[in-house]
Amino acid sequence: MKISKSTISASFVKQADQTDCGVACLLAIIKYHKGSSSLEQLRTLSGTSKQGTTLLGLFQTAQSFGFDAEGLEAEKIDDLKELKE
């Protein structure tokens, strides 16, 4: 599946803080799927602290937006390619 530059631009989210990586990623996914939220709202919903966001916090927040979230572990980027199969 090819994604256009305009789609990437429309869903791009810049981290506001070094602990925002998880919620910024989630916000980009929400925007890609034509949803609406903010980093502030996602920080609150996911319980983001000065240490960042837990996987459980991201999981529950993603589910609250209607996503079928699942936690997975991978050691290499190539491991992620196998998930498509």
Exposure string over 70-82, b if 16+ CB within 10 A, otherwise e = eeeeeeeeeeeee
pLDDT (average), residues 33-39: 95
Which CATH fold would you assign to the domain 5-84?
Answer: Cathepsin B; Chain A (3.90.70)
pTM: 0.83
pLDDT at 84 (0 to 100): 66
Q: How confident is residue 4, by pLDDT bands cut at 50, 70 and 90?
A: confident
Q: How confident is residue 9, by pLDDT bands cut at 50, 70 and 90?
A: confident
Domain residues of the chain, as ranges?
5-84
